[in-house]
C-alpha cells in the first residue's frame, strides 16, 4: 500500500482552519469578493499534471476566504443557521480522515453504534417517543421528505394500497393540508413524492404565521380518505409555532374515520423542547406521527445534518429501506440505509454526537434560551427606534422588522436600503424577505456565541442605517 505523507496538507488545512476560526470576530461578515471574482480566482483550464497536496490546500486556504461569508459569526443573522463548535468541526475532520461508508452498519460498527446512540440521545433530549426511528439526513428539506414518504406509505396502506410496491398510479387520492406559511421545503417534498405541491390544501394562519385550528377543523370536515396534516414548529420569518397540541387533537378526531398522519416541520424550533421554559410552546409534538429538525440550526453542528423522526418506525423503514445481495452484513447492526434516502454516505451522526457531548443537555438549553433572549433584546432595542415596525411576536429566535421611510415616500425601498447598508457595513448580516407583500428584514438568532453586546451592536447598526440619508 502506498502511504503518502499526510502531514503537510493536513497541517496547512489545520493552520488555515484555525486562522479562519480565530479571526472570525474581527472579519467583516459579508464576503469581500463577488461570485464572478471568485470564478476568476478558481478558474483556468483543467490541470493536466497534478501538484503536491499541500500546495493545493494552501492555494484554497489563501484564495477562498475573500469569497466566504462569516456564517458562523455571532452577528450573522441570515436564514436560520447556527455556527460550528470545536467538537463538531473536529469530529467532522475525523469523519473525512476515517473515510467510512456508513450505508450499512456491520462494516463500520463504530459509526453505526455512534449513530444509534445519538438517535437515542436526541429522542431523550427532545422528549419524543423512545421507540421512534431516526434518520440523519442532509437537512430539514430531506428530513421533511423522509417523514412525508413514511406518511404517504402509512395513510395509503391504511386505505388498502401499497405505495411501495404499486406507486401512486391508481392509488386513492391523498389530501395534504399545510398552513398558509408552510416552508417551501415541504412543497418540494410533496413534489418529489408525487403528492403535488399545488394540490395541498392551504389552511389559514394568524398574524404570527401559526396555523389556525378553527380553519384546520373546517378544512378537515370537508375531506375524507387518506390525509396528511403538516404543522410547523417555527415559521421561517416569524418563528411562529403552530398550536401543535390542539392540531394533534383535531387530527386524532379526523383519524377516527380516515387514515391520517400529523407531521411537524420543526427545522427551526424543535430544540426549544429541551428548555423547561420554552418547551411548552412545542407541546404536542410528542403526539405527532413524524417530525423533522436540523442539527445544523440550533444544535450548531457543521452542515449537513437534518434529522427525521418517525413514531411509526415500520412505516419509516418501509419507505426508505434497500436491500441488495452484494451489500455485506446488512441487517445485523443498525443500518443507516434502512432510514435514509442515500446509499453511500459519510457519517453525519459523528458531529452531532460530538457536539452533544461537548455541550451536554445544559449547554444545549443554554444556547436555545440565550438565543431567544437575544432575539427579544434585539426586538426591544429596535422597537424603541422611531420608524421601526416590529412585524412579529417573538416566540422563539426570529425577529421580523421593516423600516418606515423618514421621507414618507417608499417604505419598501427604504427597508431594502437599510438592509443593504447593514450588510455592507460588515457589522451584522440580516437577510431580506417579504411579509404581507412588503419588504422586510429577518434577524434570525441561531448562533451559540451571541452575547448581549452583539445584540446591541446589531440594533445600533440597523438604527444607524435607518437614520443615514
Ligand atoms: C421551517 C423550515 N423547514 C425546513 C427548512 C429546510 O432546512 P434545510 O435548509 O436544512 O434543508 C428550513 C430552512 O430554513 C425551515 O426554516
* Pair (298, 419) in one structural domain: no
pLDDT, residue 326, reads 86
| C-alpha neighbours within 13 Å on the C-beta side of residue 243 | 14
236 lines ligand 1 (CB under 6 A): yes
Q: Hunting for cell 428539506 — which residue is that?
A: 141
Q: Does residue 283 share a domain with residue 223?
A: yes
Assess if residue 63 is contained within a domain.
yes
The answer to whether the CB of 265 is under 6 A from ligand 1 is yes
Q: Ligand 1: which of 145, 183, 210, 264 to mutate, most ligand atoms within 8 Å of CB?
A: 183
CA of 191 to the centre of ligand 1 (A): 16
Q: Is residue 75 part of a domain?
A: no
Using CA positions, which residue lies closest to atom 3 of ligand 1? Answer: 267
Same-domain pairing of 401 and 331: no
Range of the domain at 275: 93-356
Q: CA-CA distance, 345 to 152, in Å (whole number)?
A: 25
Q: What angle do CA 204, 200, 322 make, to 5 degrees?
A: 135
378, part of any domain: yes
Whether residues 260 and 154 share a domain: the answer is yes
Q: Are residues 317 and 222 in the same domain?
A: yes
| 237 and 323, same domain (yes or no) | yes
Ligand 1 atom nearest to 232, measured from its CA? 1
Paired sense of beta strands 438-444 and 431-435, if any: antiparallel
Residue 1 lies in a domain: no
The answer to whether residues 132 and 229 belong to one domain is yes
Residue 79 lies in a domain: no
Which segments of 325-431 does DSSP mark as H helices, in order? 349-383, 411-425
Distances (CA, A) of 441 to 155, 184, 230, 431: 39, 19, 26, 6
CATH of the domain at 229: 3.40.640.10
In terms of domains, do 160 and 278 share one? yes
Residues 202, 176: contact at Cβ < 8 Å?
no
User: What single string gives the DSSP state of each residue in 173-236?
Assistant: P-EEEEETT--HHHHHHHHHTTS-TTTSEEE-B-TTSPBPHHHHHHHHHT--SSEEEEEEBS-T
Which CATH number fits the domain that encloses residue 377? 3.90.1150.10
Q: Which long-range contacts (CB under 8 A, 24 or more apart) does 323-329 make?
A: 327/103, 327/104, 328/104, 328/106, 328/107, 329/104, 329/105, 329/106, 329/107
- Same structural domain, 251 and 320: yes
Region for residue 331 given its phi and psi (left: phi exceeds 0; alpha: psi -120 to 50; beta: otherwise): left
Q: Are residues 131 and 277 in the same domain?
A: yes
Q: Which atom of ligand 1 is nearest to the CA of 296?
A: 10
Q: Among 356, 382, 411, which residue terminates a domain?
A: 356
Residues 345, 225: one domain? yes
For ligand 1, is residue 259 a contact (CB within 6 Å)?
A: no
Question: Which atom of ligand 1 has the smallest separation from the CA of 234?
Answer: 1
268 CB within 6 A, ligand 1: yes
Q: Cα(140) to centroid of ligand 1, in Å?
A: 5
Does the Cβ of 79 fall within 6 Å of ligand 1? Answer: yes
What does the block give as the cell for 162?
Answer: 401499497
Query: CA-CA distance, 94 to 112, in Å (whole number)?
Result: 15
- Euclidean distance between CA atoms 370 and 166, whole angstroms: 49
Q: Are residues 54 and 124 both part of a single domain?
A: no
Last residue of a domain, one of 26, 55, 70: 70
Specify the number of domains making up the chain.
3
Asked whether 389 and 425 are in contact (CB, 8 A), the reply is no
pLDDT along the chain (469 residues), means of 10: 94 97 93 96 96 97 97 96 96 97 91 96 98 98 98 98 97 98 98 97 98 98 97 97 98 98 98 98 98 97 97 98 81 86 95 98 98 98 97 97 95 97 95 97 97 97 93
* 163 contacts 173 by C-beta, under 8 angstroms: no
Q: Which atom of ligand 1 is nearest to the CA of 297?
A: 10
Longest dimension (CA), the chain: 73
CA-80 nearest atom, ligand 1: 14
Helix (H), strand (E) at residue 263: strand 260-265
User: CA angle, 266 as apex, 279 and 198 as ends, to 5°?
Assistant: 145
Distance 58 CA to ligand 1 centre (A): 33
Per-residue pLDDT, 66: 96
Q: Is residue 80 domain-resident? A: no
Nearest CA to ligand 1 atom 14: 80
Q: Is there an atom of ligand 1 within 6 Å of 183 CB?
A: yes
Determine, yes or no, domain membership for 86.
Answer: no
DSSP 415-443: HHHHHHHHHHHTS-B-EEEEETTEEEEEE
Indicate the SS3 state at residue 66.
Answer: helix
Q: Report the nearest atom of ligand 1 relative to the CA of 266.
A: 1
Residue 87, in any domain of the structure: no
Q: Is 336 exposed, middle or buried (0-12, 13-18, 19+ CB in 10 A)?
A: buried
**Residue 226 has what pLDDT?**
98
Per DSSP, the residues of 77-121 read -STT-----HHHHHHHHHHHHHT---SSSTT-HHHHHHHHHHHHH
Amino acid at each position: 500500500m502506498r502511504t503518502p505523507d499526510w502531514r503537510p496538507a493536513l497541517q496547512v488545512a489545520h493552520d488555515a482552519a484555525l486562522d479562519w476560526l480565530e479571526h472570525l470576530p474581527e472579519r467583516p461578515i459579508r464576503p469581500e469578493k463577488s461570485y464572478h471574482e471568485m470564478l476568476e480566482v478558481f478558474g483556468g483550464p483543467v490541470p493536466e499534471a497534478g501538484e503536491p497536496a499541500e500546495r493545493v490546500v494552501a492555494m484554497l486556504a489563501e484564495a477562498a476566504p475573500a469569497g466566504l461569508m462569516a456564517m458562523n459569526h455571532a452577528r450573522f443573522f441570515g436564514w436560520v443557521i447556527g455556527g460550528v463548535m470545536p467538537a463538531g468541526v473536529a469530529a467532522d475532520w475525523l469523519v473525512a480522515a476515517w473515510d467510512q461508508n456508513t450505508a450499512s452498519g456491520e462494516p463500520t460498527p463504530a459509526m453505526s453504534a455512534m449513530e444509534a446512540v445519538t438517535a437515542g440521545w436526541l429522542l431523550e433530549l427532545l422528549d419524543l417517543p423512545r421507540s421512534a426511528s431516526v434518520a440523519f439526513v442532509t437537512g430539514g428539506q430531506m428530513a421533511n421528505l423522509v417523514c412525508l414518504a413514511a406518511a404517504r406509505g402509512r395513510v395509503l396502506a391504511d386505505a388498502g394500497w401499497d405505495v411501495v410496491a404499486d406507486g401512486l398510479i391508481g392509488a386513492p387520492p391523498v389530501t395534504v393540508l399545510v398552513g398558509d406559511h408552510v416552508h417551501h421545503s415541504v412543497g418540494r417534498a410533496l413534489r418529489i413524492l408525487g403528492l403535488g405541491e399545488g394540490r395541498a390544501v392551504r389552511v389559514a394562519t394568524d398574524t404570527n404565521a401559526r396555523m389556525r385550528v378553527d380553519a384546520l377543523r373546517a378544512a378537515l370536515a370537508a375531506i375524507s380518505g387518506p390525509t396528511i396534516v403538516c404543522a410547523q414548529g417555527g415559521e421561517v420569518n416569524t418563528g411562529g409555532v403552530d398550536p401543535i397540541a390542539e392540531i394533534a387533537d383535531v387530527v386524532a378526531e379526523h383519524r377516527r374515520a380516515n387514515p391520517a398522519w400529523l407531521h411537524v416541520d420543526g427545522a427551526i424550533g424543535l430544540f426549544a423542547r429541551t428548555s423547561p421554559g420554552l418547551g411548552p410552546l412545542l407541546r404536542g409534538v410528542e403526539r405527532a406521527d413524524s417530525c423533522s429538525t436540523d442539527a445544523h440550526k440550533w444544535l450548531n453542528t457543521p452542515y449537513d445534518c437534518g434529522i427525521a423522526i418517525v413514531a411509526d418506525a415500520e412505516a419509516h423503514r418501509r419507505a426508505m429501506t434497500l436491500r441488495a445481495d452484494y451489500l455485506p452484513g446488512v441487517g445485523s447492526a443498525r443500518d443507516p440505509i434502512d432510514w435514509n434516502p442515500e446509499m453511500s454516505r459519510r457519517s453525519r451522526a459523528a458531529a452531532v454526537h460530538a457536539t452533544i457531548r461537548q455541550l451536554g443537555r445544559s449547554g444545549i438549553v443554554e444556547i436555545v434560551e440565550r438565543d431567544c433572549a437575544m432575539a427579544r433584546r434585539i426586538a426591544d432595542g429596535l422597537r424603541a427606534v422611531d420608524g421601526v415596525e416590529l412585524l412579529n411576536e417573538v416566540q422563539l429566535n426570529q425577529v421580523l422588522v421593516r423600516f418606515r421611510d423618514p421621507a414618507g415616500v417608499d417604505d419598501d425601498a427604504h427597508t431594502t436600503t437599510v438592509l443593504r447598508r447593514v450588510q455592507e457595513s460588515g457589522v451584522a448580516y440580516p437577510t431580506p424577505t417579504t411579509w404581507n407583500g412588503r419588504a422586510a428584514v429577518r434577524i434570525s438568532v441561531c448562533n451559540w456565541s451571541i452575547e448581549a453586546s452583539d445584540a446591541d451592536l446589531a440594533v445600533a447598526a440597523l438604527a444607524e442605517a435607518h437614520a443615514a440619508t
